[in-house]
Structure 1
Amino acid sequence: MSDWKTTFVNYLGQVEEKFDDLTYRLRKRLNYFNPIQIVPYRSYGTPNRLYIKGRVLENKGIAQAGDKDTILNNLLNMYKRFESDEVMDARLQVKFQGQTHEIISDREGYFVINLEPPTPLPLDNVWHEIEVELVEAQIPYTPGIKATAEVLVPPPDAEYGIISDIDDTIIHTSAYSALSMSRVVFLNNARTRLPFAGVSEFYRSLQLGRNGKRNNPFFYVSSSPWNLYDLLKDFLDLNQIPAGPLLLRDFGLMQNKFMGGSHMGHKFKEIQNILLTYPELNFVLIGDSGQEDANIYREVVKQFPTRILAIYIRDVQLPDREKMAVAVSEELKGHSVPMLVVDNSVEAAEHAAQLGLIYQEALPEIEHEKDKDKGLKPGKETADLFGS
């Protein structure tokens, strides 16, 4: 970043910090606070180390998404997500395997802790639940506020892992166009936004793999802000898309977050951390041609040349972006890593079946789901997983 941009961003950060302090003092004088909530994020770990992240926020009362929510309902809920009031310096206790750990939330309400279980985790469950409790805060609160963090630990017999983008890969967002993306994101909710046709069944087939145990782990890496965590989590659950850690980005003026930072840097770092955490596990990468996924995945292959089984890139039907993605796929042939730029989910599934990643018998159901979703009533956002 150039010197003037760095100076400008630092200045904005100082302004934001002073404004937050002023607002906090005013609200404290008026005793104007909402109830506190703990928002743990789905994360991941190993039998010997668990990574837990979450946020302490004032509860703005974001309503549960409904099929009949109006545009005004959705706009109000989205406003509440982005106009968040963070609870800094909150003291939390994390209890697991008979041990208690304490952690303090930072200025933006985030808390992060790495736990080392005294005894290795049993691997009969993929997900492990950890209790987080609020024990002290600088604003009024009701004692006994708790939440449960979910941590994914892949079993040793997992065949491979799947790392997937979200926007324009699972769900139509038009992330490559700020105006179109804003209209889609702000005017809809977890129920009115639908996955690309075929995505649910294709992803469940990848999770099932060939061993039939449905234990191949999913990881979702996105440049969406953490403010949208609840919406994305609910979207995955409502559409029966395999659960997995959601690895998003912070949003704000400080540390160049308002400027967006590096889309490529964020996603590459998160994917790198996943592969380093599970050195014995190979991966399938799924993204789209709308932003930088093809370039990011190329760098992942260069750093981990034997760890990537296949790459699937959904074509967003922009010629320049498609040309770039195809060029990357040609380059990766030299690394013996197949990367397909595809138009529909069936193409990707057929290739996955040829590689032995999924059962051939899964293909008719993916085709059926693709055709079935095309018949959804007008007004619903639906298209094929890898094309309309």
Structure 2
Amino acid sequence: MARRPHPAARLEDAVRRRVNARLERRGWHERVSGYTGYGSVDRARVFARVTLSRTEPEERRTALTHAHDSLLDVAQRGWRVFLTAPATGVLVTVRLGAARASARSDRSGYVDVDLEGHGLPPGWQEASVAIDNGDSVTVSVLVVDPKVEVGLVSDIDDTVMITHLPRIFIAGWNTFVRSELVRQKVPGIASMYRALVAEDPRMPVFYLSTGAWNTAPALTRFLRRHDFPVGPMLLTDWGPTNTGWFRSGQEHKERELRRLVAEFPQISWVLVGDDGQHDPVIYGELAEEYPEEVEAICIRELTPAEQLLSSGLPVATDELLGKRADVPMLKAPNGYGLHQLLVTARGAHATGAERLPEGEVAKDQPGTAPQVRAHAIPDEDGGEEPRSA
């Protein structure tokens, strides 16, 4: 017997039904928006959302994705992206190459579609996402090369962009009030990612976050503005679910990481996060379960002030120090230090040397991989990142 939805979800659905009915009486229309997808040469995954809009349906729009620079010049305050009216149960049709699939939007308007047999080669491709009223949008899809051996998964909050999560008031101010143009990047991370991609331009880069899909356009503009490598985002939906008041961000990350490992078994992943939330634990557990599929874990260490804002303590708690696994866990305060440690660790592994990367080496338990911390590396050129790719 199916369980009834959580009371919070039923309340949210009731409010949305009344709001949507009023908007439809005023002549609002269903519109579809798309997000960057990804896949292999055999199958692909495409994301989209259906909402109500006062704008008339339009054919062949282009979604705000990494592959379309001309649409990345509109900045706005964060609260505007959350004022949406999701359309539930709308049939969405996705076409990618020779593949075609349909799905209905969920209670928040989202669709997550798998397509098989698209027949497209590796590289950036385009998919068409359409609904029955004629509205359609073209989205970018990254088809990962089956010969690529290394991939990158990056957290966003406090890893590439300083947000001071999960302290709710500061996070809310940064997300809902401040203009996206004043958001700060973490020094050296973009330079590190560009250097890694320069080693093999086919390397896929995924941005995995507990942030809401509503923020995807703003995050895309931020990443483009600061010259991060292009790549799909794996975000989630905020608010009540069928089982509780809020979705579990930790479960979202764990689920998406395991899916990437299953979908790309030939890839060894570099996992990048920070010690302000649960990244060390999540990454450590994945590495313990799949030691051959994780090359290294890179953890950006928050400053004492950032830790205080993030967790209420000036240092990382024991839980956030990470689960021990048989892969290197590298720690540094910025991307410059993390890249230095990663390069050194790779060199030591390639030569079979037992020497650890230079820096402050943490004391470890016998039989576990070392945790290595780099000394702080000052920002160059007044905080601007040197071009490495």
Within 5 A, what are the aligned runs for 1:4-43?
10-28=6-24, 30-33=25-28, 35-43=29-37
Decide whether the 8 Å contact of 2:73 with 2:221 is kept in 1. Answer: no
Q: Which residue of 2 aligns with 1:97?
A: 97
* 1:1-388 map, 5 Å: 10-28=6-24, 30-33=25-28, 35-59=29-53, 74=77, 78-98=78-98, 100-117=100-117, 119=119, 121-123=120-122, 125=123, 127-136=124-133, 143=134, 145-209=135-199, 213-256=200-243, 259-317=245-303, 318=307, 321-322=315-316, 324=318, 327-328=321-322, 331-332=324-325, 335=326, 337-356=327-346, 370-374=379-383
Counterpart CA distance in 2 for 1:223 and 1:269 is 12
Q: Assess, with a 3 A threshold, how the Cα gap between structure 1 residues 373 and 304 changes in structure 2: closer, same or farther.
A: farther
Deviation of 1:52 (Å): 1.1
1:57 and 1:109 in contact (8 A); partners too: yes
- Unaligned regions of 5+ residues in structure 2, if any? 56-70, 308-312, 348-375
Deviations 1:94-140 (CA, angstroms, capped at 9, x unpaired): 23335544333233211222111253x222x2x2211112223xxxx
> Matched residues in 2 for 1:219 and 1:116: separation?
21
Give the aligned residue type for 1:82.
F
Q: CA deviation at 1:166?
A: 0.3
2: distance between equivalents of 1:368 and 1:174? 21
For the residues of structure 1 that align with 2:17 and 2:317, how far apart are their CA atoms? 48
User: Helix, strand or coil: the match of 2:38?
Assistant: strand
CA distance in 2, matches of 1:256, 1:174: 27
Change (3 A) 1:146 1:66: closer
CA distance in structure 2 between the aligned counterparts of 1:309 and 1:65, rounded to whole angstroms: 33
For 1:326 and 1:133, how far apart are their aligned partners in 2? Answer: 43
Whether the 8 Å contact between 1:60 and 1:80 is mirrored in structure 2 is: no
SS of corresponding position for 1:166: coil
Distance 1:157 1:282 in 2: 12
Structure 1: 4+ residue segments shifted above 6 A: 64-67
Q: Which secondary structure state, in structure 2, belongs to the residue aligned with residue 17 of structure 1? A: helix
Contact kept in structure 2, 1:289 and 1:321, CA below 8 Å: no
Measure, in 1, the Cα distance between the counterparts of 2:196 and 2:138: 27
Shift in Å, 1:82: 1.6
Contact kept, 8 Å, 2:89 with 2:104, in 1: the verdict is yes
Contact 1:197 1:373 in 2 (8 A): no
- SS at structure 1 position matched to 2:209: strand
Task: Give distance in 2, aligned partners of 1:370 and 1:155.
Answer: 35
Q: Which residue type is aligned with residue 259 of structure 2? A: N
The size of the alignment, in residue pairs, is: 334
TM-superposed deviation, 1:65: 8.2
What SS class does the counterpart of residue 171 from structure 1 fall into?
coil
Share of identical aligned residues, percent? 25
Q: TM-score, normalised by structure 2?
A: 0.77
Q: Letter of the aligned partner of 2:84 in structure 1? A: S
The amino acid that maps onto 2:19 is T
1:26-85 deviation per Cα after TM superposition (whole angstroms, max 9, x unaligned): 333x3242x543221212211111111110123479xx8879x7xxx62xxx33322211
CA deviation profile, 1:224-255 (whole Å, cap 9, x unmatched): 11121111112112221111111111122232
More helix per residue: 1
CA distance in structure 1 between the aligned counterparts of 2:42 and 2:80, rounded to whole angstroms = 38
